[in-house]
Amino acid sequence: ETGVTQTPRHLVMGMTNKKSLKCEQHLGHNAMYWYKQSAKKPLELMFVYSLEERVENNSVPSRFSPECPNSSHLFLHLHTLQPEDSALYLCASSQDAGGSAVKLFFGSGTQLSVL
């Protein structure tokens, strides 16, 4: 198993659909993250979980709802998205969430298209 696995790799959904993105890490890390990568914009941090507690929520719209049932799994539940939410959604994990030299391990991402 690779370090951080994301499913699905590609997702097309309508604005009224409800879908979920899944992330699983096999590295024994304590922190997990959701990032959004849009064309022509830097990577944007969405949520951070440390030891299954949400410690960061960067003013993300409520149509994005994260869930971290344990330290190995992270979900991003999506509902009533907008076309501008189309992007690559990346999951990452790290040994710890704080400190000056956190090393992020990323999954391959879910390419989301909202029609």
Partner 1 sequence: TQLLEQSPQFLSIQEGENLTVYCNSSSVFSSLQWYRQEPGEGPVLLVTVVTGGEVKKLKRLTFQFGDARKDSSLHITAAQTGDTGLYLCAPNAGGTSYGKLTFGQGTILTVHP
List contacts with partner 1 (CB under 8 A).
4, 31, 33, 40-43, 45, 48, 50, 55-56, 90, 92, 94, 96-109
* Matching residue, tokens 């096999």: 26
Neighbours of 98 (CB within 10 A): 10
**Cβ contact 46:108 at 8 Å:** no
Closer to partner 1 by CB, 81 or 94: give it. 94
The owner of tokens 């992270």 is 74
Compute the least distance from the CB of residue 57 to partner 1, in Å: 11
Least Cβ distance, residue 94 to partner 1 (angstroms): 6
CB of 79 to partner 1, least distance (A): 25
Identify the bridge partners of residue 67 per DSSP, sorted by sequence position.
Answer: 75
**Residue placing its CB nearer to partner 1 in the complex, 13 or 43:** 43
Nearest to partner 1 of 31, 78 (CB atom): 31
Q: Are 32 and 49 in contact (CB under 8 A)?
A: yes
